[in-house]
């Protein structure tokens, strides 16, 4: 129940925000909006207000804003309706309408984190020497280090920060370390021999190698109160960090650093959303912000049917001073639909395979 509710909440809200961007700018530039739909497929319920049919559809995996005169085969419209036709607006106006969808996803993330930091404070990691996790079969595990041990001394030197621990291990040269840890209020002496191991980034790529003992720091956060300007600055940094993380992730997929088997679809999103809601609303907000940025970046990819494909066509039109051939646009969109359909089948396959595993 938690999973279904959090999935509908997260994905429904992000789709609404995305389509709202298209809708607002279409209205701003005087384009007639025929339909605003959350979801695809059969109509569940809705209401017609003015020129627009506001609809909730059966398949909650997307949404769309249908504008008058937006399809390539609809560009020949009666002269009296050209002022409300998408196709007859200036290139920069059409570009703005299309770009507004992804832009609203980025803006949503910025606003989300602004209010989160403003009312909850800006998170900052507390630097301690407490062990959060001991890797299985590592030198630390073999020496008897346990989760939640606090490292207080290495080779007679007091350790006050986690960097003190890292440097002592890194500079050991593989020699035995004499370590004192605090466990349940008592000091325990241990002897550990570091081993050379690969240092990997979050994408699993080897970036270095050094002596390590196989422990991970205990993550503890404190929240520092921030005024409006501090919250806005931190929100901008967090949003930009998510943008760079997402873009780099797409690059790593193309480079085959991240295997295609790691890609997930709606089922994985629902599972993670449910887990984040159980962990707390703050965790769910971070996940929602990351997913919103992912949605924005994904839609900017130059694939026909996606916003990025439309932006590519409009960019070509601005250079050529005339639209692309109607037939070419239709064929490109059909190819785009085929590519997206294949991708959807693939990520569903990955999701189902994970469930069985």
Contact 86, 23 (CB under 8 A): no
DSSP state of 218: P
The catalytic residue positions are: 19
208-243 as b/e: b if 16+ CB within 10 A: eeebbbbbebbeeeeeeebeeeebbebbeebbeebb
**345 is written with which tokens?**
């089948």
**How crowded is residue 33: how many other Cβ atoms within 10 Å of its Cβ?**
22
Residue 124: both structure tokens together? 């900052």
286 vs 276: CA distance, rounded Å: 9
Give the sheet arrangement for strand 157-158, strand by strand.
157-158, 150-154, 177-183, 186-192
């Amino acid at each position: 129940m938690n999973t279904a509710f959090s999935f509908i909440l997260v994905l429904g809200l992000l789709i609404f925000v995305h389509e709202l961007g298209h809708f607002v700018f279409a209205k701003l530039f005087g384009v007639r909006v025929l339909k605003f739909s959350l979801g695809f497929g059969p109509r569940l319920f809705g209401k017609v207000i003015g020129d627009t049919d506001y609809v909730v559809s059966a398949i909650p995996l997307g949404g769309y804003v249908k504008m008058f005169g937006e399809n390539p085969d609809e560009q020949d419209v009666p002269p009296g309706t050209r002022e409300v036709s998408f196709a007859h607006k200036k290139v920069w106006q059409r570009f703005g309408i299309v770009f507004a969808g992804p832009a609203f996803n980025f803006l949503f993330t910025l606003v989300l984190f602004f209010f989160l930091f403003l009312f909850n404070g800006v998170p900052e990691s507390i630097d301690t020497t407490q062990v959060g996790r001991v890797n299985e079969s590592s030198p630390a595990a073999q020496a008897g280090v346990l989760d939640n041990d606090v490292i207080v001394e290495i080779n007679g030197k007091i350790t006050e920060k986690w960097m003190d621990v890292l440097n002592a291990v890194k500079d050991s040269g593989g020699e035995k370390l004499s370590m004192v840890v605090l466990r349940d209020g008592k000091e325990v002496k241990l002897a550990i021999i570091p081993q050379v191991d690969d240092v990997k980034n979050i994408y699993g790529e080897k970036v270095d190698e050094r002596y390590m003992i196989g422990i991970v720091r205990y993550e503890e956060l404190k929240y520092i109160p921030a005024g409006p300007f501090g919250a806005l600055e931190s929100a901008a940094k967090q949003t930009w960090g998510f943008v760079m993380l997402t873009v780099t992730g797409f690059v790593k997929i193309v480079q085959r650093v991240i295997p295609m088997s790691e890609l997930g679809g709606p089922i994985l999103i629902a599972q993670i959303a449910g887990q984040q809601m159980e962990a707390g609303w703050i965790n769910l907000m971070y996940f929602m912000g990351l997913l919103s940025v992912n949605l924005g970046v994904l839609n900017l990819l130059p694939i026909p049917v996606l916003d990025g494909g439309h932006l590519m066509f409009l960019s070509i039109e601005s250079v050529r001073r005339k639209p692309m051939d109607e037939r070419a646009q239709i064929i490109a969109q059909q190819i785009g639909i085929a590519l997206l359909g294949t991708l959807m089948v693939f990520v569903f396959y990955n999701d189902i395979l994970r469930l069985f595993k």
